[in-house]
Amino acid sequence: MNVVKGVFLIVLSLLTVNENHANAAIPTKTHKLINKANINGPYLGLVIPNQFELNPLLQHPTYKPSNLTIHVSGRRFRFGTVAGEKVILVMTGLAMINAGITTQLLVTLFNVKGVIHYGIAGNANPSLNIGDVAIPRYWSHSALWNWQRYGHGPENELALEAGGDYTREIGYIKFANYSIKKSDNILNNVWYQPEEIFPIDGTPEERQHVFWVPVDSHYFTLAKKLEDVTLEKCLNATLCLSHPPKITRVSRGTSASIYLDNAAYRSFIYDKFKVSPVEMESAAVALICHQQRLPFITFRALSDLA
């Protein structure tokens, strides 16, 4: 007990010493800019993963930047209009954590009425081609796992399953199915898990669970009109796609902080979940918006095979 008390006092002392250096509060000047921006809202939030996906929009004539840019926590929030609609543009950076943090900052700090997320993705759907744009109805985070100990199988309860932390409802991948000339694999099974969420209209600290997060139904209905848009097949006289690209609404997409370039796993997740785009950010954006009860939708151009 004395040891624990001593460690606690040391930690308190360190916190006191570093108090001035660890203050992460938003500066007063930035708060004033945020308040000024919100008076002119609401805005559509455009959430973009990387610079090379952001730059084409910044350079497009339909985007009209305003003279307001706000920097918060390493993020740059650009204000302007797209085709007359007030927007906030923000780049997330790579993968789930960056996308989640950025989206939460956006919807917490600013007067946002909806979120549109776009970027490129790998493709797991054999009926789609490189260059197609997929608009999924549902998104999942497919890298929250319960890795089962070797020797246990589908009939065995997972660790902490009894307390509601984990489940066998969604399914699993069995590594032995992908072994060469072996009947088993000590990596055993990985079970896919739903995310714990805490919606703004729920009871604080009372968790709910979700695996497939739906996009906004109104946005998804509107997106059907985009399926009639004709996309260019050729970038120039010598560089063309093998098929005319199309915009299509699909059932599902999935995200994980894993760059997927593996044919066996690509086939597995399509057979298991019927996902089309496979990438690294959209599910994080979806989970934040779902908990904040904000409408959102995601567009992903298929740039390669997952």
Spatial distance between the Cα atoms of 86 and 117, rounded to a whole number of angstroms = 15
SS3 labels along 143-194: CCEEECCCCCCCCCCCCCCCCCCCCCCCCEEEHHHHCCCCCCCCCCEEEECC
Report the alpha-carbon distance of residue 249 to residue 103 in Å, rounded. 23
Q: What is the pLDDT of residue 304?
A: 94
- The helix (run of H) or strand (run of E) holding residue 135 is strand 133-141
Distance, CA of 123 to CA of 305 (rounded, Å):
5
Task: Output the CA–CA distances (angstroms, integers) from residue 74 to 65, 182, 201, 298, in the order listed.
Answer: 20, 49, 29, 23
Tell me if the domain spanning 26-144+197-305 has CATH number 3.40.50.20. Answer: no
> pLDDT tier at 264 (50, 70, 90 boundaries)?
very high
Per-residue model confidence (pLDDT) at position 75? 98
Q: Are 48 and 92 in contact (CB under 8 A)?
A: yes
pLDDT of the residue at 12: 58
> What's the pLDDT score for residue 269?
98
Closest CA to 248 of 277, 269, 271, 273: 277
* Interval 13-42 mean pLDDT: 78
Residue 277 to residues 88, 141, 255, Cα–Cα distance (Å): 25, 12, 8
Per-position b or e across 146-175, b if 16+ CB within 10 A of its CB: bebeeeeeeeeebeeeeeeebbbebebbbb
Q: What stretch(es) of the chain map to CATH 3.40.50.1580?
A: 26-144+197-305
**162 Cβ contact list (under 8 Å, min separation 6):** none
Query: Among residues of the chain, what percentage have pLDDT more than 90?
Result: 89
For the entire predicted model, the pTM comes to 0.90
Whether 57 contacts 219, CB under 8 Å: no
Mean pLDDT confidence for 34-51: 98
pLDDT of residue 182: 79
Q: Report d(CA 87, CA 113) in Å as an integer.
A: 10
Residue 75: CB atoms within 10 Å: 17
pLDDT in tens, 194-237: 999 999 999 999 999 999 999 999 999 999 999 999 999 998 98
pLDDT band at 306 (very low <50, low <70, confident <90, very high): confident
Q: Report which DSSP code applies to 107.
A: H
Mean pLDDT, rounded, for 84-89:
98
- Which percentage of the chain shows pLDDT scores above 70? 92
